[in-house]
Amino acid sequence: MTWVPGAAGTPYGAHNLPYGVFRHDGDQRRIGVRIGDSLLDLDGAEAAGLVLAGGALRAPTLNPFLALGRPQWNAVRTRLTELLTDQAHRAAVEPLLLPLADVELVLPFEVGDYVDFYSSEEHASNVGRIFRPDEAPLLPNWKHLPIGYHGRGGTVVVSGTPVIRPSGQRATPDGPVFGPSTRLDIEAEVGFVVGVPSEQGAPVPVDRFADHVFGVVLVNDWSARDLQAWEYRPLGPFLAKSFATSVSPWVVPLDALADAWVPAPEQDPPVLPYLRDIPHLGLDLRLEVDWNGTVVSRPPFAGMYWTPPQQLAHLTVNGASVRTGDLFASGTVSGPARAQTGSFLELTWGGAEAVALDDGTKRTFLEDGDTVTITATAPGPDGVTVGLGTVRGTIFPTGAPHR
Amino acid sequence: MTWVPGAAGTPYGAHNLPYGVFRHDGDQRRIGVRIGDSLLDLDGAEAAGLVLAGGALRAPTLNPFLALGRPQWNAVRTRLTELLTDQAHRAAVEPLLLPLADVELVLPFEVGDYVDFYSSEEHASNVGRIFRPDEAPLLPNWKHLPIGYHGRGGTVVVSGTPVIRPSGQRATPDGPVFGPSTRLDIEAEVGFVVGVPSEQGAPVPVDRFADHVFGVVLVNDWSARDLQAWEYRPLGPFLAKSFATSVSPWVVPLDALADAWVPAPEQDPPVLPYLRDIPHLGLDLRLEVDWNGTVVSRPPFAGMYWTPPQQLAHLTVNGASVRTGDLFASGTVSGPARAQTGSFLELTWGGAEAVALDDGTKRTFLEDGDTVTITATAPGPDGVTVGLGTVRGTIFPTGAPHR
């Protein structure tokens, strides 16, 4: 149990230890690890010789640490657990703790390629019903491979970054018009952060997932549905998504989620051999979507049809390599109930059924000034939960002063 | 006129001066500029004080130099022109020249986001006719916006890198099967390299193109048509493209192409205001596609419907930012004649009409061992041409030892 006051038994006890990057008093970016409502300055800790990672913890991003690989990740985690649980280290470590309230959390890693999957059967079926009402809700390929596409790595931003309403073209009966999106939406997702790169031409099999993936962030893949509907044929979404993708500031190590693996939904028809993961497990992450103070949805990640190891195996089976800092997200997480859907497109059924918020207002899509906050927890050891942090964004009008 | 022996009057005279990154005798990566069949070592030149760029020319990639911006790009270009044309500098500069035959050219810049457009009306129409024979060849959105999507930045490789045939799923009447692609294709394209970044939320208007874009590379966007046909609905191409994208090793500065701007095809219907570029100009780049020693196609870039400034304006109009090292490619360059098409899909009309090569063999799609070489020239000053280098790749079987 951690000696850090108030941390034991919380979702950010010594069983979690997520990594982030922070600034304090306008200083340089430094790596930290969260414990309770504090942060341990790992730059300071490595400088003091309290933990050793060949200098990787003294970088301004997590990338050098992510590149080290699982044996080193484990060694650092073991050491941090010692430092934060053994009273013998308290005198040396306590001066390196900072209250979270005193720091600014920044994007924790430099993003390489960003891939977005589409792995919730409920979400894909709902979108099919809304956009292609005359066809079968799932396209013929959907149960054979985890559909995915590349998003824009350069516009991934940390939680709290203002989201400026995108402008673009949308279709009208009189032809396309240009202007601010009128159907701005969220996508509540879970993202996986690649640590160890792979080589071009060498696929990563399903059973090597944990050799390459370091951990997990929450993702809000903001989406302009009106832009998307007009632009997406035949090459997929582009400007409808590329203006901003928000991620939570804490990368939760896979190690912290060891108790969260649960059987994933049975796959029928059977998948091709390169996608067979035995045991076939997903992660029991429980998301919560808050819109201006009202919890409007609780998407269950455990029900995702395609698992993270299957996604990585598919992504690389053609010989594509992964790099340190690559991010692949699950796609919108939606459960079978309306109040389990991870997009407002589904929650309001294409905008047809407004949702009532606790402040007395109603919403279909996002209005300027709206704030969306996505959080998640997972089961941890001994009945505690593991917190996955928060990804929050507030909508600013088109043309608002940018950052 | 340059004093470098044999360089004057060639496509790589002092009017061109493309930048690349090389290794010599297994040394560190260094920046060089091509002149004739030689390369001037710019790391050595900046170290010797012959040219000054704040150390940016001493980096192992072009990125720091690309980030400097047009005034600095111009100053360096002016200085290099002096050094390579004024006999007074010959004694100091000549020791820094290396024969191209003695160096290994590597990827010249670290690629950020890679976007691929779809801007040839002939290509888009041909693909429509082949894949959707019962519909109008162009989709309704095509003439209103430059259709594009994100590709994989991490698998962009330099010319000469082996291309390993990708495996993946393809549809058969009995369901999908997994195996090496049977319809491996090329896409002959022109790529634009971003130097100066833009801010999120701040679109780059059409008339600011030259403030952000440094120069041009040739691109071969290798494509597995069988994988693509099965996977692309509804989110676009993914594994069919992500295994490899080859680029030429020389980044030709926009300044070297000043004489190559020509009126672009008239756009009807008129485009929305944010896409109006006045004058509406494209680049007269003349591509040549060689398949195992036979020139099979001469795609004309001047006929592209959407111009590079329109592409950049569209890419950023939603507030998406660009980073130093971002690459956006034109999409397959195809002219109206069959022997002007930039993909083998079009050249062989979906594989139905084999092409005869000079070695007596016939081809529809790529076979293992095949080599494709794309080159291009542009009109330069005083009747000389500007060479855009070469992008070459040879196909290796699936499972071949990777790099």
- Chain A 202-241, residues with CB within 8 Å of chain B CB atoms: 202, 224, 227, 230-240
Q: Choose between B133 and A375: higher pLDDT.
A: A375
Phi, psi of B373 (to 5 degrees): -125, 120
Which pLDDT score is estimated for B329?
98
Q: Are residue A156 and residue A304 in the same domain, yes or no?
A: yes
CB contact (8 A) between residue A150 and residue B152: yes
Q: Is A400 on the interface with B (CB under 8 A)?
A: yes
- Chain B 106-125, residues with CB within 8 Å of chain A CB atoms: 112-113, 118
The answer to the question of residue A5 being in a domain is no
Q: What does the pLDDT average to over B343-359?
A: 98
Q: Are residue A286 and residue A245 in the same domain, yes or no?
A: yes
Beta bridge partners of A150: A115, B150
DSSP single-letter state for residue B338: G
Which pLDDT score is estimated for B353?
97
The answer to the question of residue A138 being in a domain is yes
Query: Å from B206 to nearest chain A CA?
Result: 15
Q: Are residue A100 and residue A119 in the same domain, yes or no?
A: no
d(C-alpha B322, C-alpha B315), whole Å: 9
Task: For residue A148, list chain B residues with Cβ-Cβ distance below 8 A.
Answer: 235, 238
Task: Choose the final residue of a domain: A81, A106, A131.
Answer: A106
Contact pairs from chain A to chain B, CB under 8 Å = 200
Question: Residue B35 CA to chain centroid, in angstroms?
Answer: 20
Query: Å from A397 to nearest chain B CA?
Result: 10
Task: Choose the final residue of a domain: A45, A78, A106.
Answer: A106
Which pLDDT score is estimated for A401?
62
Q: Which residues contact A330 (CB under 8 A, 6 or more apart)?
A: A117, A119, A120, A189, A190, A191, A192, A219, A301, A304, A308, A311
The answer to the question of residue B6 being in a domain is no
Q: Rounded to 10 degrees, what is the CA torsion of B196, B202, B208, B213?
A: 30
CB contact (8 A) between residue A239 and residue B149: no
d(C-alpha B185, C-alpha A15), whole Å: 50
Task: For residue B233, list chain A residues with Cβ-Cβ distance below 8 A.
Answer: 139, 141
The answer to the question of residue B41 being in a domain is yes
**Facing B231 at nearest CB: one of A141, A201, A231:** A141
Average pLDDT, chain A: 97
Q: Which two tokens stand for residue B260?
A: 């190559």
Q: What does the pLDDT average to over B379-399?
A: 96
Q: Are residue A87 and residue A126 in the same domain, yes or no?
A: no
**pLDDT classification of B403: cutoffs 50, 70, 90:** very low
Which pLDDT score is estimated for B26?
83
pLDDT digits (tens, 9 = 90+) for B309-341: 999 999 999 999 999 999 999 999 999 999 999
Task: Choose the final residue of a domain: B57, B83, B106.
Answer: B106
pLDDT digits (tens, 9 = 90+) for A290-312: 999 999 999 999 999 999 999 99
Q: Are residue B331 and residue B193 in the same domain, yes or no?
A: yes
Average pLDDT, chain B: 97
Q: Are residue B180 and residue B142 in the same domain, yes or no?
A: yes
Task: For residue A318, list chain B residues with Cβ-Cβ distance below 8 A.
Answer: 166-168, 224, 227, 239-240, 242-243
Which pLDDT score is estimated for B401?
62
CB-based contact B394:B162 (threshold 8 Å): yes
**Which residues does chain A have with pLDDT short of 50?**
403
Q: Which residues of A are known catalytic residues?
A: 123
Q: Cα dist. B71→A389, B15, B59 in Å?
A: 44, 18, 19
d(C-alpha B120, C-alpha B282), whole Å: 12
pLDDT digits (tens, 9 = 90+) for B174-204: 999 999 999 999 999 999 999 999 999 999 9
Query: Å from A168 to nearest chain B CA?
Result: 6
Q: Which two tokens stand for residue B194?
A: 């971003």
The answer to the question of residue B14 being in a domain is no
Q: What does the pLDDT average to over B382-387?
A: 96
In terms of Cα–Cα distance, which of B235, B246, B264, B279 is closest to B159? Answer: B246
Q: What does the pLDDT average to over B286-298?
A: 98
The answer to the question of residue A3 being in a domain is no
Q: Is A380 on the interface with B (CB under 8 A)?
A: no
Q: Choose between B278 and A117: higher pLDDT.
A: A117
User: Which residue out of A221, A318, A327 would a mutagenesis test of the B interface target, given it has the greatest number of B Cβ atoms within 10 Å?
Assistant: A318
Task: For residue B141, list chain A residues with Cβ-Cβ distance below 8 A.
Answer: 169, 171, 176, 230-231, 233
Q: Considering chain B, what percentage of its residues have pLDDT values greater than 90?
A: 97
Q: Are residue A217 and residue A337 in the same domain, yes or no?
A: yes
CB contact (8 A) between residue A319 and residue B244: yes
In terms of Cα–Cα distance, which of B131, B17, B10, B138 is closest to B81? Answer: B17
Q: What is the CATH number of the domain that holds A30?
A: 2.30.30.230
**pLDDT classification of B37: cutoffs 50, 70, 90:** very high
Q: Are residue A273 and residue A171 in the same domain, yes or no?
A: yes
B144 classed as catalytic:
no
pLDDT digits (tens, 9 = 90+) for A12-31: 999 999 999 999 988 899 99
The answer to the question of residue B13 being in a domain is no
Q: Are residue B81 and residue B131 in the same domain, yes or no?
A: no
Query: Å from B76 to nearest chain A CA?
Result: 28
Which pLDDT score is estimated for A403?
47
Residue in A with minimal Cα distance to B144:
A176
Task: For residue A175, list chain B residues with Cβ-Cβ distance below 8 A.
Answer: 144, 269
Q: What does the pLDDT average to over B216-225?
A: 98
Q: Are residue B67 and residue B196 in the same domain, yes or no?
A: no
Q: Which two tokens stand for residue A273?
A: 């051999």
Query: Å from B401 to nearest chain A CA?
Result: 8
Q: Is B169 on the interface with A (CB under 8 A)?
A: yes
Residue B51 has pLDDT above 70, yes or no: yes
Q: What is the CATH number of the domain that holds A188?
A: 3.90.850.10
In terms of Cα–Cα distance, which of A314, A189, A143, A327 is closest to B238? Answer: A314
Q: What is the DSSP string of A86-122?
A: -GGGHHHHGGGEEEGGGEEEE-SS----EEEE---HH
The answer to the question of residue B4 being in a domain is no
Q: What does the pLDDT average to over B279-286?
A: 97
Work out the number of other CB atoms within 10 angstroms of the CB of residue B192: 26
d(C-alpha B283, C-alpha B334), whole Å: 14
In terms of Cα–Cα distance, which of B2, B10, B4 is closest to B383? Answer: B10
Which of the following is catalytic: B24, B89, B123, B280?
A: B123
Q: Is B274 on the interface with A (CB under 8 A)?
A: yes
| Residues belonging to chain B | 403
Q: Are residue B91 and residue B228 in the same domain, yes or no?
A: no
Identify the residue whose tokens are 């050595």.
Answer: B44
Q: Is B81 on the interface with A (CB under 8 A)?
A: no
| Number of folded domains that form chain B | 2
Q: Are residue A101 and residue A210 in the same domain, yes or no?
A: no
Q: What region does B124 belong to: left with phi over 0, alpha with psi -120 to 50, or beta?
A: alpha
Domain of residue B52, residue span: 19-106
In terms of Cα–Cα distance, which of A102, A17, A114, A7 is closest to A65? Answer: A17
